[in-house]
Amino acid sequence: MSVLKLKLDQEQLVEDFFEDTWLAGIISQAKDYQLCWQINKQLGYDFRVNNSLEINLTKNRRAFYFTVFEYQELTKSAAHYLYNNHCKAEFLLPELKHVDYIWLIKGNYYQDADVKNLIEQCRKAELVQLVSLLDMKDIRNKINLIF
């Protein structure tokens, strides 16, 4: 009797997950809940922590938990996710150690000009030091963002 082995195609999973997405990096010394409150106030959003999306990474037999905040824009069929990039001394995306938070915008409503406008509005939040659009090609650990 032969055993059928199924292998998850991670490249296809990453490609599917990141279809119609934008990524921005945010630098802020604020706690994640304080930053979300400010972004909510500035943009009229309603980011809330979603514990079911929390990302768990294990390195050297230690567990690290990265908080994910979510906001669904139902009228635009768009979803916004704000990932905490730090947990203790570990990073969700090690190639972006200088970035404190990752903002993922998912959905085909937003175009280049819309995203640039959102970033400009986000920059006006008091606790935000810097926001910049990230190039997907520069991110090696995209799989860490998939929940």
In this predicted model, what pLDDT tens digit does every residue of 61-112 receive, in sequence order?
899 999 999 999 988 999 999 999 999 889 999 999 999 999 999 999 999 9
Quick one: pLDDT at residue 147? 77
d(CA 135, CA 23): 7
The pTM of the full predicted model, rounded to 2 decimals, is: 0.88
Flag whether 75 is in a domain: yes
CB 131 within 8 A of CB 22: no
7-11, 30-34, 61-65, 85-89, range with greatest mean pLDDT:
30-34
The CATH number for 114's domain is 3.30.310
Q: 128 pLDDT band (50/70/90 cuts)?
A: very high
**pLDDT tops 70 at residue 37:** yes
Q: Which domain holds residue 78?
A: 17-145
Q: What integer is the mean pLDDT of 38-67?
A: 94
CA 86 to chain centre: 12
Helix (H, G, I), strand (E, B) or coil at 19: coil
Cα 128 from Cα 121, distance rounded (Å): 11
- Angle, CA of 108, 141 and 79, to the nearest 5°: 25
Number of domains in the chain: 1
Provide the 10 A C-beta neighbour count for residue 50.
15
Residue 1, domain member (yes or no): no
The answer to the question of residue 30 being in a domain is yes
DSSP secondary structure, 56-82, as one string: EEEETTEEEEE-EEEEEEGGGTEEEEE
Rg (CA), the chain: 16
Classify residue 2: in a domain, yes or no.
Answer: no
Tell whether 5 is covered by a domain: no
105 within some domain: yes
Among 23-27, 69-73, 130-134, 141-145, name the one with the lowest average pLDDT.
Answer: 141-145
Residue 4 in this model has a pLDDT that exceeds 90? no
Domain membership of residue 32 (yes or no) is yes
The confidence score (pLDDT) of residue 7 equals: 61
Within-domain flag for 124: yes
**Residue 3 clears pLDDT 80, i.e. is over it:** no
